[in-house]
Chain A
Amino acid sequence: MKKRKQRDIIHRWEGNPAITIQSLPFKASDIWNAGAVRVGDTYILIVTIESLSGHKDLYCARSENGYHFTVDAEPFMIHAEDSAFSKYEKISIMDARITYLDDTYYISYIGESEYGFRIGLAKTDDFKKATRLNFISEVDTKGGALFPEKINGRYARLERPADGGRIWISYSDDLVCWGGSEAIMSPRKGFWDASRIGDAVPPMRISDGRWLMIYYGIKETSAGPLFRIGAALLDAKDPSKVVARTNIPILSPREMYERVGDITNLVFSCGAVLDGDNLLLYYGAAKSCLCVGITTLDDIVNECIESEGVY
């Protein structure tokens, strides 16, 4: 008898994949990942979708139950649409992460141009129209995720500079100029996250005050990279301190829709929603579809704490 549900800490929704190319109201090449938020009773995703021409743009998808989503026919943000920002997003915009902060929904995303990748910051009130604010990173830094509250009076973000493949934290007084950067977590030799890591879901404060950081880890294999998802806990007062980290991934590519696609063997998340004690993780699989993973906060936190302290 197969024990399907016990394989990973994150359980797959039996209706996966939740969004496929076939379920889009337009032609497209790939579905990458999504940032997620619940506004009232509506679950909203900002999905990165690659067009047939190869450029990536951001589309909203909406759901009443967190599982069955309808993707908007019109894009929420498209690359190079605003002249002041187009220089650094001529090729694509992608990897939207949503943070509710100061009564505003902030969207950190990646702009791609011939100059490289940078973190862009936008905001929205209604998930119909986005206002771009600034590019907030140096070039070839990805994974920008704002903390949902200020840390010691300053805005804070997680990020993944290309050099070293580590997770860093930076701070700002005004969301424009950033400093105080510190490396907080590195790849681990021999582990599933040995080659590169990056922050995935914007950090969430859990009931004991610490921060849950769901991240992705990459192991290079002879057949290419293997993308998996893990979790760590950051100190309540100083989130540059990692206090626990799962020794095992909490989600690994196993199903056909995670192993087969334009980029194989990939699960990658930019967003999750807390539903009581349950956590709904929205993750892209094989760059070709979007899926829902389900677990409890306790299951993730316990796995962090029980791990042997290699971080």
Chain B
Amino acid sequence: MTRFPFGRDILHRFEGNPIITLEDIPFRCNTVFNGTPFKKDDTYYLLIRIEGQQGYSYFALAESKDGLRFSVHPEPVMQPAKSGPFAKYEALGIEDPRLTELDGTYYVMYTAYSTYGARIALAKTEDFHSYERIALVSEPGNKDGMLFPEKINGEYVRFDRPIGKDCGSIWISYSKNLYDWGRSEVVMQPRAGYWDSYRIGASVPPIKTNHGWLEIYHGVRMNPSGPIYKIGTVLLDLEEPHRVVARMEEPCLSPRENYERIGDVGNVVFACGAIVEDNGEIKVYYGSADTHICVATCSFDTLIAKTLEGTT
């Protein structure tokens, strides 16, 4: 019988997956997942979400020379605020960071979680070790915020994921100062009948290409046994990024391996960042089953070409 192990998904799993698990964390915690990468001077930094055994999440930092084998720093780098204006909205943890370099500054958008709901918050860092909070930038009930790596028509731009009429969709918002946001527009919605029929949200901070902004997003389908999270792609207009150029019909990565199907939240692959290498390869970093961190790769050109075959 012929088997085609690499033909299953457009993104290929690294054979060393999962690349970070509980055993790689030098302090006691519950799980590690959803890391956002940045490559600087041949060093890969991965800001990772740790869920403590108390149940709330915070961030740690992993470093690597090859983007595949990481070591985790002995202390967490960002904890929920215990005092000041952020404490009220981070009482239940900080989650799902996304790093964007913009005008020479490294910004992190993350989800602040409290009894007041999930909100998007913004911080910045110079060394990936210490983080300076800037502002809470969304209303409650909003998450999956991430900055575009450049201004568009002189304004900062972000994706966000509010829920309207019980439907989680990808929206875009604009700002002149990173504090006050407005002119929100819906970018795209779940597709009935598809793998992303229940809920979608932006995942990887958008990557500029000749064909538009490439957004690697997550889509959810609700099954009788619970949700199944997959990863898909869409290209958006460079000038008016709420306009869809092409949206891939298929997911480019689906939960299949045991480390993706088995964990605290099974059947989840959820990306929070990617690195496009000089050799034309894209490394997509994703959390699996809310329990591990993994990486999957493919040719960046292939990913763009496959996305361009999609529909609007």
Contacts and interface: CB of A to CB of B under 8 A. Distances in A.
B126 interface: no
A286 to B, nearest CB: 24
Contacts of A162: 141, 163
B139 A141 contact: yes
B137 to A, nearest CB: 6
B179 interface: yes
Contacts of A136: 182
B102 interface: no
A181 B182 contact: no
For A135, A137, A163, A177, the residue with the greatest tally of chain B CB atoms inside 10 Å of its CB is A177
A32 to B, nearest CB: 19
Contacts, number: 102
B181 A178 contact: yes
A164 B184 contact: no
Interface stretch (B164-172, B214-222, B265-273): B164-172
A163 B175 CA distance: 23
A116 interface: yes
Contact of A116 (B167, B175, B180): B167
Given A168-B140, A177-B176, 15 more contacts: A115-B186, A116-B163, A137-B184, A138-B173, A138-B184, A139-B169, A140-B141, A140-B163, A163-B117, A163-B141, A164-B140, A168-B139, A173-B180, A177-B180, A179-B135
B180 A171 contact: yes
A233 to B, nearest CB: 21
B233 interface: no
Interface residues of A, number: 32
B14 interface: no
B interface majority secondary structure: strand
A20 interface: no
Nearest to A166: B116
A86 interface: no
Contacts of A166: 116, 140
B136 interface: yes
A161 B183 contact: no
Contacts of A180: 135, 179-180
Contacts of A21: none
Contacts of B163: 116, 139-140, 162-163
